[in-house]
C-alpha cells in the first residue's frame, strides 16, 4: 500500500514523500548481464533495506558494487544496456519500469562528473526547476539543503573552485534537494582526501534513521559506525549479509573476498589477542583490559603486556618519544642535498614560487628526489601538491626558482620535452587509457617517440627500432607485475588496480628518470594495494626517482623513504616517515587534515614505536601466523 504524506506549510518547498510498510528496498535473485561480458556481473543477489536503515555494501574492485547501485537507481540496464532479471522494488516501484527520480537519489564516486553548472546554487536548483518548482521556491530549497551539508554561504561560489570534499557535498545537496525516498552513495569517498571523507561521513551520519541509505565501499573501515547491516559481494555473488557488528569483525570473511579488514582487527589477529577491535579506541580498550597476547613485548624483554599510556579514544593518543629509530629509513636530507653527499638528485626544486591571480600557490619550495628513492608528497587540499607537480612536468612556468631533471634546468623546455625524462601517472587511470589492448597502451608512448620528426607530420630520423619497443614493453610489463595474459585484454574492462598498473606501465615504458604517481593507492582492494606496493619497489630498484602524491598515510609509511608535508604552498615538514609521523607531530598533521598511519596509533596503545603493521608485530612480539 502506497500513501502520500500531506504537504504542510513548513514543507512548501519540498517535494512529496511516501511511507511504506514493506522494506523500502527489496531485491531477490538479481542477475545482471552486460552485453560486453561473458559472465553475469550480478549473480543471484538478494537483500532488503528497511525504512531508516543504513546498508553497507563491501567487496573488492569489480565485485559488483557499482553495478548494484546502478540497478537500484534504474541506470542498469536502461542506460548501460544488458538484462536485469529477478525481483527489485525501490520505494514501492520497480526502477526498471518507473522513472520517478524522487524514489532514489545517487551520489557517485566521480563527483566532478555530476557537476554541470557554474555556480553552486544553480547545481542544486536545476533538478528542482526541471520538475516544475518555481525559481523562488527552488532557491529556498537549495539554500536549505546547502545548509544541511554545511555549505551555507556557498551559493554563488563557482563549482570548480571548490575542494574535492566541497564538490562532493554539492553533489550530495543536489541529491537531497529532490527529497528522494532513499539514497545511494557509490564509493562516494574514494577520490577524497581525509578531510573530504570526514565531511561526507558526517553528512551520512546525520542522515541515518531519516531514510534508507546504501553505502558501497572497498575499504570496510569506512563503514564502522555508519551502517546497520552489511552486504558482502564476491564476484557478483552474495557472500554474506548480516549485522554490521558481526561482518566487520570477521577478518577471515573480509580476507576471503579480497578486501583488507580494519587495521586494528588485523593487528589484533596477528598479535594473538583474543579481542576483535575495529577502531583504534577499541584496540586501546582491549589492551587496557589485558587482552591475551601469544607472546610478550620484545621491546621490554618481559612477558607482560605494557598498557602504560593506553587511551580509549580514537584520537586522544599520547605523544611518545622521538620515533626516529622506529623504522629503517634512508638518512634524512633537506632541500637539494643528497643523502650521502654524493651524486646530484635526479629531481631537484630550488626556491620555487608560483602565484595564481597574485595569490601565492607555491612559496619558496625546495625538494629533491634521488635515484632509487621513493619520496612522498603529502598535504591537505590547497596545500600546493597539484600545482607543484604541474610545474615539475612543465604544464606551468614558475615565477621564480629552478627545476632540474638529472642536473639540467627545465626552463625553456616544453611539457613534451620534459616528458622525455619525467613520467606522470594520473589518479584516474581512465584519463590516460585510450587503446584497445594493454599492449597497445604500453607501446603507444614508445611509438610516438620512435621518430624525431621535428615539425614534420611524418617521416624523420628513427631513434630506435621495433625490437627496442618490444624490449621496453616487456620490461614495463614485468616491473608493474602485469601478467602476459593481460596484454591482449581491453584495459577498459580490467579491475581498477590493473587499469592503474597498465597506465603506469605505459608511463614508464620510455624509461624516464623521474616517475610521478598521483594517488596510486586510491580505491584499491587488497590485491591492487599489494601489486602497487610491489610496482613502486621495482621502480626504485631500477634507479628511478619516484615522487608519490598520496592521502593514504598507511600506504605512504609502507613505500616511502622520505616524506615532504606541504601547507599553504610551503614545506611544513620533511624527513623520513618516522620523523614526519612521530607522535609529537600528530596535532600538526591533523591540523593539515592528515591522519597518522593507523599502525602508529595502535603502536601508541602498546607503548612501542612503529609505522607499519609488520613493524608493530615485530616490536610487540605478536603471533606470526599472518593471514595475508
Residue owning grid cell 601508541: 604
Quote the cell numbers at residue 371: 635515484
Buried-exposed string 243-277: b where 16+ CB fall within 10 A, e elsewhere: ebeebbbbbebbbebbbbbbbbbbbbbbbbbebbb
pLDDT at 559: 97
How far apart (Å, rounded) are the C-alpha atoms in residues 500 and 428? 8
Classify the phi-psi angles of 368: left when phi > 0, otherwise alpha if psi is within -120 to 50, otherwise beta.
beta
Given 3-state DSSP classes, what are the helix, strand and coil percentages for the chain, each rounded to the nearest 5?
Answer: 35, 20, 45
pLDDT at 165: 77
Torsion angle (degrees, nearest 10) of CA 205, 280, 186, 66: -150
Residue owning grid cell 604552498: 569
pLDDT at 363: 95
Distance from the first to the final alpha carbon of the chain: 50
How far apart (Å, rounded) are the C-alpha atoms in residues 358 and 371? 35
Which of 156, 18, 15, 171 minimizes the C-alpha distance to 93?
A: 18
Please check whether residue 165 is in contact with residue 192, taking contact to mean a CB–CB distance below 8 angstroms: yes
How far apart (Å, rounded) are the C-alpha atoms in residues 616 and 340? 29
449: CB partners within 8 A, 6+ apart: 420, 463, 510
How far apart (Å, rounded) are the C-alpha atoms in residues 419 and 407? 16
Specify which of 68-82, 193-207, 341-355 reaches the highest per-range mean pLDDT. Answer: 68-82
Query: For the ranges 25-34, 190-199, 401-410, 438-447, which has the lowest average pLDDT?
Result: 190-199
- Is 50 exceeded by the pLDDT of residue 7? no
Assign 327 a pLDDT band (cuts: 50, 70, 90): low
Quote the cell numbers at residue 476: 614495463
The alpha carbons of the chain give a radius of gyration, in whole angstroms, of 26
Which of 157, 29, 25 minimizes the C-alpha distance to 87?
A: 29
* Percentage of the residues of the chain whose pLDDT score is greater than 70: 86
Buried-exposed string 150-189: b where 16+ CB fall within 10 A, e elsewhere: ebeebbebebeebbbbbbbbbbbbbbbbbbbbbbbbbbbb
How far apart (Å, rounded) are the C-alpha atoms in residues 522 and 114? 20
- Is 50 exceeded by the pLDDT of residue 17? no
pLDDT at 314: 35
Which of 277, 349, 275, 284 minimizes the C-alpha distance to 317?
A: 284
Q: CA geometry: angle at 319 spanning 260 and 294, to 5°?
A: 50
Question: Does 3-256 carry CATH code 3.60.90.10?
Answer: no
**Better-predicted residue by pLDDT, 195 or 85:** 85
Digit-coded pLDDT (tens) for 560-581: 999 999 999 999 999 999 999 9
Quote the cell numbers at residue 533: 606496493
Bridge partner residues of 33 (DSSP) = 83
- Is 50 exceeded by the pLDDT of residue 435? yes
**Better-predicted residue by pLDDT, 300 or 38:** 38
Buried-exposed string 355-394: b where 16+ CB fall within 10 A, e elsewhere: eeeeeebbbebbbbbbbbbbbbbbbbbebbbebbbbbbbb
Which sequence spans correspond to the domains of the chain? 3-256, 262-328+595-628, 433-508
pLDDT at 298: 41
Digit-coded pLDDT (tens) for 419-430: 999 999 987 888
- Is 60 exceeded by the pLDDT of residue 628? no
How far apart (Å, rounded) are the C-alpha atoms in residues 383 and 592? 9
- Is 80 exceeded by the pLDDT of residue 41? yes
Q: For residue 230, give the 3-state DSSP assignment.
A: strand
pLDDT at 382: 77
Quote the mean pLDDT of the chain.
85
Residue owning grid cell 609488520: 614
Digit-coded pLDDT (tens) for 112-151: 778 889 999 999 999 899 888 899 999 999 999 999 888 9
Please check whether residue 594 is in contact with residue 564, taking contact to mean a CB–CB distance below 8 angstroms: no
pLDDT at 21: 66
Please check whether residue 381 is in contact with residue 593, taking contact to mean a CB–CB distance below 8 angstroms: yes
Digit-coded pLDDT (tens) for 517-574: 998 988 888 988 998 999 999 999 999 999 999 999 999 999 999 999 999 999 999 9
Quote the cell numbers at residue 322: 622521538
**Better-predicted residue by pLDDT, 58 or 459:** 58
Digit-coded pLDDT (tens) for 171-219: 999 989 988 899 999 988 877 778 778 888 998 999 999 999 999 999 9
pLDDT at 279: 96
Assign 452 a pLDDT band (cuts: 50, 70, 90): confident
pLDDT at 584: 94
How far apart (Å, rounded) are the C-alpha atoms in residues 415 and 353? 18
Amino acid at each position: 500500500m502506497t500513501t502520500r504524506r500531506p504537504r504542510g506549510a513548513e514543507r512548501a518547498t519540498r517535494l512529496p514523500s511516501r511511507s511504506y510498510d514493506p522494506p523500502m528496498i527489496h531485491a531477490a535473485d538479481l542477475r545482471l548481464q552486460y552485453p560486453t561480458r561473458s559472465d553475469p556481473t550480478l549473480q543471484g543477489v538478494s537483500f532488503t533495506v528497511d525504512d531508516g536503515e543504513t546498508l553497507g555494501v563491501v567487496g573488492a574492485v569489480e565485485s559488483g558494487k557499482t553495478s548494484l547501485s546502478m540497478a537500484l537507481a534504474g541506470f542498469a540496464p536502461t542506460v548501460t544496456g544488458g538484462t536485469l532479471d529477478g525481483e527489485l522494488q525501490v520505494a514501492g516501484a520497480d526502477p526498471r519500469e518507473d522513472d520517478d527520480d524522487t524514489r532514489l537519489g545517487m551520489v557517485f564516486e566521480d563527483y566532478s562528473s555530476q557537476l554541470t553548472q557554474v555556480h553552486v546554487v544553480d547545481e542544486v536548483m536545476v533538478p528542482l526547476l526541471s520538475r516544475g518548482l518555481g525559481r523562488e521556491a527552488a532557491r529556498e530549497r537549495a539554500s536549505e539543503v546547502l545548509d544541511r551539508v554545511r555549505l551555507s554561504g556557498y551559493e554563488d561560489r563557482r563549482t570548480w573552485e571548490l575542494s574535492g570534499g566541497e564538490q562532493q557535498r554539492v553533489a550530495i545537496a543536489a541529491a537531497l534537494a529532490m527529497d528522494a525516498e532513499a539514497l545511494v552513495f557509490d564509493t562516494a569517498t574514494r577520490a577524497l582526501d581525509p578531510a573530504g571523507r570526514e565531511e561526507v561521513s558526517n553528512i551520512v551520519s546525520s542522515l541515518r534513521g531519516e531514510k534508507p541509505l546504501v553505502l558501497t565501499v572497498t575499504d570496510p573501515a569506512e563503514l564502522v559506525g555508519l551502517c546497520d547491516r552489511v552486504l558482502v559481494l564476491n564476484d557478483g555473488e552474495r557472500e554474506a549479509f548480516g549485522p554490521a557488528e558481526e561482518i566487520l569483525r570477521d577478518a577471515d570473511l573480509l580476507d576471503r573476498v579480497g578486501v583488507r579488514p580494519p587495521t586494528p582487527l588485523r593487528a589484533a589477529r596477528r598479535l594473538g589477542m583474543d579481542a576483535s577491535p575495529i577502531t583504534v579506541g577499541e584496540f586501546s580498550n582491549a589492551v587496557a583490559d589485558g587482552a591475551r597476547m601469544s607472546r610478550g613485548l620484545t621491546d621490554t624483554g618481559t612477558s607482560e603486556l605494557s598498557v602504560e599510556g593506553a587511551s580509549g579514544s580514537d584520537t586522544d593518543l599520547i605523544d611518545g618519544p622521538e620515533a626516529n629509530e622506529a623504522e629503517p629509513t634512508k638518512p634524512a636530507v633537506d632541500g637539494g642535498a643528497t643523502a650521502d653527499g654524493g651524486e646530484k638528485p635526479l629531481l631537484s626544486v630550488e626556491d620555487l614560487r608560483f602565484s595564481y591571480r597574485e595569490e601565492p600557490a607555491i612559496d619558496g619550495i625546495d625538494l629533491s628526489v634521488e635515484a632509487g628513492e621513493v619520496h612522498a608528497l603529502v598535504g591537505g587540499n590547497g596545500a600546493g601538491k597539484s600545482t607543484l607537480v604541474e610545474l615539475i612536468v612543465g604544464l606551468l612556468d614558475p615565477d621564480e626558482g629552478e627545476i632540474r631533471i638529472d642536473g639540467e634546468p627545465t626552463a625553456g623546455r616544453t611539457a613534451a620535452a620534459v616528458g622525455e625524462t619525467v613520467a606522470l601517472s594520473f589518479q584516474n587511470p581512465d584519463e590516460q587509457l585510450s587503446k584497445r589492448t594493454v599492449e597497445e597502451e604500453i607501446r603507444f608512448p614508445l611509438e610516438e617517440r620512435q621518430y624525431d620528426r621535428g615539425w614534420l607530420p611524418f617521416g624523420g630520423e628513427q631513434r630506435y627500432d621495433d625490437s627496442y619497443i618490444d624490449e621496453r614493453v616487456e620490461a614495463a610489463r614485468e616491473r608493474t607485475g602485469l601478467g602476459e595474459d593481460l596484454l591482449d585484454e581491453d584495459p577498459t574492462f580490467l579491475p581498477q588496480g590493473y587499469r592503474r598498473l597498465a597506465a603506469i606501465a605505459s608511463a614508464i615504458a620510455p624509461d624516464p628518470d623521474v616517475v610521478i604517481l598521483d594517488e596510486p593507492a586510491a580505491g584499491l582492494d587488497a590485491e591492487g594495494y599489494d601489486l602497487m606496493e610491489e610496482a613502486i619497489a621495482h621502480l626504485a630498484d631500477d634507479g628511478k626517482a619516484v615522487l608519490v602524491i598520496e592521502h593514504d598515510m598507511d600506504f605512504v609509511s609502507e613505500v616511502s623513504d622520505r616524506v615532504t608535508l606541504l601547507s599553504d604552498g610551503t614545506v611544513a615538514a620533511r624527513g623520513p616517515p618516522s620523523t614526519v609521523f612521530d607522535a609529537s607531530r600528530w596535532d600538526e598533521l591533523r591540523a593539515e587534515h592528515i591522519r597518522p598511519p593507523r599502525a602508529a596509533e595502535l603502536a601508541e596503545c602498546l607503548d612501542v614505536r612503529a609505522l607499519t603493521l609488520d613493524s608493530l608485530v615485530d616490536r610487540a612480539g605478536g603471533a606470526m601466523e599472518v593471514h595475508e
